Structure 1
Amino acid sequence: TYIKYCSANPPLRRLPKKYPEHFLESLSLPLGAIRFSTGNVIISVVILLCFSVPLFHPPLLHCLLECDNFITVIQKVNDTFVVCGTNAGSPRCWMLVNDTVLTDVQGSGQIASASDISPPYPSQRSISLLADGSLYSAMSSVGGHAGSIRRTVGSQKLLKTENIWLLNPQFAGAAIIPSSIKFKEEIYFFFSELNKTARVDEEPYRARIGRICTVDEGGIKALLADSWTTFMKARVMCGAGNTQQQYNNLKQAVVLTAQDKRAGVMYGLFSNAWGRTVICAYSIEDIDQAFSTSKLKGYSNPFIGSRPGMCVRKNSTAGGHNDLKNLGVIRYHPEIEDVIRPVGVAPLDLPSDDQITHAVADIVLAVNEEHYSVLYLGTEQGKVLKVLHTSEGVFIVSQYSLFHNEGPVLNMAIDSQKGHLYVGTAMEVQRLPLADCGRYGDTCRECILSRDPYCGWDRARRKCIAIPPGYNVTSGTLIQNLDHSNSSVCGEAAALKQRRTSPREVMVQSNTSVFLPCPVRSFHATYRWEKDNCIKNYPCLFSGDFCVLGPVIDTPLKEGIFRCMATEDGFKVEVISFRLVNDGRLLAASLASTLGPSLLLAMATLWLH
């Protein structure tokens, strides 16, 4: 079954320039097509891309109008697939029932109106989240739309936020917060909203966390009949303590939680008025504690019975859901007084000047049977940083330059089952392995110092390998050291062993210059070049994933052996070496001035892959 929209054979790997960021976000995977397998039926939702064409071109006019339908929601709710699109400003939804019949949904029964599930335009950010057989939809404010959080599909009662609870919200994410007690399961919504009390020198935004209980069935006929009775919200701070240097615009939120436990971490991508971006980390336990114990803003009277807004079982009388006074408290005072502050009180200390555009995170079970958080951060320049986050701080594991055309990373998606990370820009999509263990070299010391939770040193095979599923710690031979940059677990003899590389020969014409690239495997090592085993070291210039040695006055790159040395954790390792041989010939003057240096660098770079 296909839902198909226009166009004349565009290349699948090239993504639309119109609304590229939202297009990628709405699909969750940065691809032009998505396939679902349900029993014996494969559903393919194909989005063919649209390009501007002159309106006087009659054959393409109809196609151009059709292309205004952007698919924004694809969710499997119980045994039914729900697919929604913008439909040129008038959203529509379809349901695939019994694996065969595709029906148009008009909004009745246990499914809300399409306009409550899908935005009318791709520029309006929206969030869809499936939890316990129900679909939850958060719509950002745009134009005359006030913005809302709703339960839109499922067997439970369809509910919504009151208009006074949200002030022009712009949603950045949502996550299920599990609990060992099922009826206490919650959903957090992350957004920025208008700050009505902002001074002239303040940003007009404030970051928020909104929370609802999945068991919520609404209020009574007299009050909150079709609205949440458990909605609460809190302000989120990201900055250096109580200083003026605050980041108030929450652009994206990612949550990692332990199964059936109200514990974990939330990572928020924030920006300030000058466009600078940072990552702040928050404890889920701290957030839960604030919602459970904080005073309500603007309300000072004691609570009657149970605290308003708490999660209680359906039909229970203990939580005061049907108590008119408690419903009134939640109706007019949904915000708590406590402010949610980041772990460590400040943003993560990331040693990079490149602005972050997107973030995803993963939980990895290490050899020591501890769980570790790994962040992948996409940047404005199209790079991807792989970051280990522990209680001690952050550690840059590696950096990737993936794209032929430099541009900001717009979306990323992790496929934990297949072990891949998908990264998309406006023009390209790339895939890389989560366990990219081969890039750390072929020694125990290099493998251990990478501090990559996906990788370990196999003492039996003497190789850096991916941690296999179901790894047995007792009988296994893998070693790691993720908490500290210390390779002593390899043994002193292994650490002190000096490795030599075989020099790669480069023929050099007399009138050309050479630039020698050294692959940067660790951003925590110091890189230097040596010539002919001399004591004198020559610095190198960092360029992307390489540390480059170029010609300088006292280092004529004409002939000799040049070795790139990396020093980390007190040990020096030879990364790569070149033997330059002068063949005595001259390159044509025109070619020497234009192609010589770049050509030789490009050739040398190709040898490294």
Structure 2
Amino acid sequence: PLSTGTAHHFSFLLNTSDYRILRMDEDHDRMYVGSKDYILSLDLHDINREPLIIHWPVSPQRKTECVLSGKDTNGECGNFIRLIEPWNRTHLYVCGTGAYNPVCTYVNRGRKPMEYVFHLEPGKEDSGKGKCPYDPKLNSVSALINGELYAGVYIDFMGTDSAIFRTLGKNAVMRTDQYNSRWLNDPSFVHVHLIPDSNEKNDDKLYFFFREKSSGMGQSPKSQSRIGRICLNDDGGHCCLVNKWSTFLKARLICSVPGADGIETHFDELRDVYIQPTQDTKNPVIYGVFSVSGSVFKGSAVCVYSMADIRMVFNGPFAHKEGPNYQWVAYTGKIPYPRPGTCPGGTFTPNMKSTKDYPDEVINFMRNHPTMYNAVYPVHRRPLVVRTNVDYEFTTITVDQVTAADGNYEVLFLGTDRGSVQKVIVLPRDDLQTEELVLEEVEVFQVRSQQLYVASPVGVTHLALHRCDVYGEACADCCLARDPYCAWDGNSCSRYSASQKRRSRRQDVKYGNPIRQCRGYNSNTNKNTPETVQYGVEGSSTFLECQARSPHAAIKWHLHRDNSDRRREVRTHNYIYCICKWYRFGIILFRHTGCQ
């Protein structure tokens, strides 16, 4: 293991790569990692311990067949693990690409954490078609719910047939309409999540997040971000859409910055999604990371969506093509009953136990109108975080809820395509304005019990969520950091805990004002960060430097001439060092706010 501060990187001494799939197992206190030809089981309490390892390569014959088909340009003829799902209390269900012949099996993980059981179940392999992609470069998503596997995946050797599939379980295999670009148009799947719609279980819907080629609705970019959904109890149609989803709908996700001229700058490629739970399981908060698809400029953004806005769009008008130019318009005709997209046996259809009971006109309408006309806009109709004119893009996101002395905060951990993680907090201001603070950026490659795990092609890295000691040894330094994880405890900058005594609540995330929090601190003096006085000789020079303990600290030098009561600030032109010429008997006063 390679350790840098509080980042501990692990690239196991295996002939493997592509550590892409992470799956937490809180019951066993393990984390499962999928890579090329290997499945790993790591101890969450001490990731340094020797991992449990399963070697699951393809047979030499299968690899030879894959190479002869011309698919091993970059080593793709291996078994890239792309699916790890908990099957029951003792087993996992895992799938790999199988050298362009997807395969699945069961892994025995034991009943108790201390058993250290981790092995493949012999004779249990089955086909991975419809569960795992053939090509390791193609994204897939999956969810195992009540013994049924739902997956967004490409299901053919050539990577041309994309589908949302349901396999396993007792119900019939289901999929989206094949080669129908109105349903899926060369998609790249990003995330899948079950979100209840009401207290009635029959209303439960599975939401898929993906991006796809534009379908030409208006002046659209080449790529569009989508949120799609299906009912879990969808059985398909009776005559039409047999064994195909009869409740599939999709809508466009907008993440854009309105310009002064009314033209929006779109971040149109969805890269990652994080679902932040709330006390109301029906209304989680949805965070999305987006990038720009064109080559005009490089940029990325984070947008936040509410389920109320999403449901309003799915309850709104359907998109319809008509007119001489075959343009997209809102459908104004009669909507059949039950409303397309409604789940059988739910709140609005208590007497219909299956989608096979739906009238043919409902099924036909669904097949031809899978897209909603209105788009889903983010909260406040603008991104939460924007990055443009930088040499990186955001690629992944995880959000942690933190209780601080002055309120509850969401801390964003944003992975970038240059191998770093930014720790960001966005604070509300008046008039719907916000203030974004980058608390720190760590060069590494999601989150559980104060630990951040990051996967990359070359390994797995473990980070601590808070590093309070880096903010210095003064109350003002700690306060100016504005990190909700950290507070001044009277002696040092340490992990904030709401259960500790009042003295540990020297923390001001919202304003970062040490005057209010640190006793004895004011704009001129601070016992925790004393003023430094240095003497010099006329004609000489000296090097004064200060290391800021917080990215929000201000650094100042003041010149105090002899026989004068005034101090003049020495301008440093944004550098953190200054070379000053000394005056005869002059005194350079070095004062800083939150630095040493």
TM superposition score normalised by structure 1: 0.70
Listed one character per residue, the Cα deviations across residues 408-454 of structure 1 (whole Å, up to 9, x for unaligned) are: x5xxxx2322x111345555654321122222233444333333232
- Tell me if structure 1 keeps the 8 A contact 2:237–2:246: no
- Tell me if structure 1 keeps the 8 A contact 2:313–2:375: no
Aligned to 2:94: 83
Q: Which amino acid counterpart does residue 372 of structure 1 have in structure 2?
A: Y
Name which of 486, 508, 522 aligns with 1:455.
Answer: 486
Aligned to 1:238: 255
Q: Does 1:323 align with 2:329?
A: no
Q: Does 1:295 align with 2:323?
A: no
Give the C-alpha shift of residue 146 in structure 1. 2.2
Q: Does 1:523 align with 2:551?
A: yes
5 Å matches for 1:391-410? 391-392=428-429, 393-402=434-443
Corresponding residue SS for 2:310: helix
- Tell me if structure 1 keeps the 8 A contact 2:289–2:303: yes
Give the C-alpha shift of residue 121 in structure 1. 1.9
Q: 152-161 or 71-80, which moves further after superposition? A: 152-161
Aligned to 2:79: 69
- Tell me if structure 1 keeps the 8 A contact 2:476–2:518: no
Give the C-alpha shift of residue 333 in structure 1. 1.0
5 Å matches for 1:168-567? 168-178=186-196, 181=199, 182-197=201-216, 203-213=221-231, 215-241=232-258, 243-259=263-279, 260-274=281-295, 276-298=298-320, 299-313=331-345, 316-317=350-351, 321=355, 322-324=357-359, 325-350=361-386, 353-367=390-404, 371-392=408-429, 393-402=434-443, 414-417=446-449, 419-424=450-455, 426-427=457-458, 429-458=460-489, 461-468=490-497, 471-472=498-499, 477-478=504-505, 480-487=507-514, 489-490=516-517, 493-494=520-521, 497-498=525-526, 499-500=528-529, 518-528=546-556, 535-537=568-570, 539=572, 548-549=576-577, 566=592
Give the C-alpha shift of residue 473 in structure 1. 8.4
2-structure distance, mates of 1:65, 1:492: 62
2-structure distance, mates of 1:81, 1:357: 31
1-structure distance, mates of 2:435, 2:33: 27
Name which of 11, 22, 43 aligns with 1:13.
Answer: 11
1-structure distance, mates of 2:502, 2:553: 33
- Tell me if structure 2 keeps the 8 A contact 1:160–1:227: yes
2-structure distance, mates of 1:363, 1:350: 19
- In structure 2, relative to structure 1, the CA distance for the partners of 1:104 and 1:273 (3 Å cut) is farther
- In structure 2, relative to structure 1, the CA distance for the partners of 1:366 and 1:281 (3 Å cut) is same
- In structure 2, relative to structure 1, the CA distance for the partners of 1:539 and 1:424 (3 Å cut) is farther
- Tell me if structure 1 keeps the 8 A contact 2:202–2:343: yes
Q: Does 1:26 align with 2:21?
A: yes
- Tell me if structure 2 keeps the 8 A contact 1:531–1:563: yes
Q: Which amino acid counterpart does residue 341 of structure 2 have in structure 1?
A: G
Listed one character per residue, the Cα deviations across residues 88-108 of structure 1 (whole Å, up to 9, x for unaligned) are: 11111111369576145565x
Name which of 130, 138, 161 aligns with 1:124.
Answer: 138
Aligned to 1:96: 107
- In structure 2, relative to structure 1, the CA distance for the partners of 1:289 and 1:13 (3 Å cut) is same
2-structure distance, mates of 1:122, 1:516: 54
Q: Which amino acid counterpart does residue 505 of structure 2 have in structure 1?
A: L
- In structure 2, relative to structure 1, the CA distance for the partners of 1:456 and 1:172 (3 Å cut) is same
Listed one character per residue, the Cα deviations across residues 464-507 of structure 1 (whole Å, up to 9, x for unaligned) are: 33244xx448989535444444445416634555234699xxxx
- In structure 2, relative to structure 1, the CA distance for the partners of 1:106 and 1:159 (3 Å cut) is farther
2-structure distance, mates of 1:370, 1:132: 38
Listed one character per residue, the Cα deviations across residues 123-144 of structure 1 (whole Å, up to 9, x for unaligned) are: 1111123445543211159944
Corresponding residue SS for 1:115: coil
- Tell me if structure 1 keeps the 8 A contact 2:224–2:252: yes
Give the C-alpha shift of residue 219 in structure 1. 2.4
Corresponding residue SS for 2:20: helix
- In structure 2, relative to structure 1, the CA distance for the partners of 1:527 and 1:238 (3 Å cut) is same
2-structure distance, mates of 1:515, 1:401: 29
- Tell me if structure 2 keeps the 8 A contact 1:183–1:311: yes
- In structure 2, relative to structure 1, the CA distance for the partners of 1:91 and 1:31 (3 Å cut) is closer
- Tell me if structure 2 keeps the 8 A contact 1:311–1:319: no
Percent of pairs identical after alignment?
A: 24
2-structure distance, mates of 1:16, 1:126: 25
Q: Does 1:167 align with 2:208?
A: no
1-structure distance, mates of 2:168, 2:107: 14
- Tell me if structure 2 keeps the 8 A contact 1:438–1:465: yes
- In structure 2, relative to structure 1, the CA distance for the partners of 1:132 and 1:480 (3 Å cut) is farther
- Tell me if structure 1 keeps the 8 A contact 2:299–2:387: no
Give the C-alpha shift of residue 401 in structure 1. 3.9
- Tell me if structure 1 keeps the 8 A contact 2:472–2:478: yes
Aligned to 1:508: none
- Tell me if structure 2 keeps the 8 A contact 1:140–1:170: no
- Tell me if structure 2 keeps the 8 A contact 1:518–1:564: no
- Tell me if structure 2 keeps the 8 A contact 1:387–1:396: yes
Q: 485-494 or 270-279, which moves further after superposition? A: 485-494
Corresponding residue SS for 2:470: helix
Listed one character per residue, the Cα deviations across residues 264-318 of structure 1 (whole Å, up to 9, x for unaligned) are: 1322222230262322323222443324421111243333444221245479435
Corresponding residue SS for 2:307: helix
2-structure distance, mates of 1:133, 1:488: 58
Aligned length: 502
- Tell me if structure 1 keeps the 8 A contact 2:288–2:303: yes
- In structure 2, relative to structure 1, the CA distance for the partners of 1:449 and 1:30 (3 Å cut) is farther
2-structure distance, mates of 1:47, 1:489: 59
- In structure 2, relative to structure 1, the CA distance for the partners of 1:329 and 1:67 (3 Å cut) is closer
2-structure distance, mates of 1:159, 1:521: 56
- Tell me if structure 1 keeps the 8 A contact 2:195–2:207: yes
2-structure distance, mates of 1:231, 1:331: 9
- Tell me if structure 2 keeps the 8 A contact 1:124–1:141: no
2-structure distance, mates of 1:381, 1:488: 38
- Any unmatched runs of 5+ in structure 2? 1-8, 24-31, 44-50, 58-63, 65-71, 111-118, 321-330, 533-540, 562-566
Give the C-alpha shift of residue 384 in structure 1. 2.4
- Any unmatched runs of 5+ in structure 1? 1-10, 49-54, 56-61, 108-112, 404-408, 504-512, 542-546, 567-571, 577-609
- Tell me if structure 1 keeps the 8 A contact 2:480–2:552: no
Higher relative contact order (CA 8 A, sep 6+): 2
2-structure distance, mates of 1:147, 1:326: 24
- Tell me if structure 2 keeps the 8 A contact 1:540–1:549: no
**RMSD across aligned C-alpha pairs, in angstroms?**
4.3
- In structure 2, relative to structure 1, the CA distance for the partners of 1:284 and 1:155 (3 Å cut) is farther
Give the C-alpha shift of residue 114 in structure 1. 0.4
- Tell me if structure 1 keeps the 8 A contact 2:406–2:509: no
2-structure distance, mates of 1:394, 1:15: 44
TM superposition score normalised by structure 2: 0.71
Corresponding residue SS for 1:344: helix
1-structure distance, mates of 2:124, 2:103: 7
Corresponding residue SS for 2:380: coil
Give the C-alpha shift of residue 369 in structure 1. 8.9
Listed one character per residue, the Cα deviations across residues 57-115 of structure 1 (whole Å, up to 9, x for unaligned) are: xxxxx9x98962211112212243112111111111111369576145565xxxxx402
- In structure 2, relative to structure 1, the CA distance for the partners of 1:102 and 1:479 (3 Å cut) is same
- Tell me if structure 1 keeps the 8 A contact 2:411–2:425: yes
Corresponding residue SS for 2:82: strand
Corresponding residue SS for 2:478: helix
1-structure distance, mates of 2:213, 2:477: 49
2-structure distance, mates of 1:368, 1:415: 22
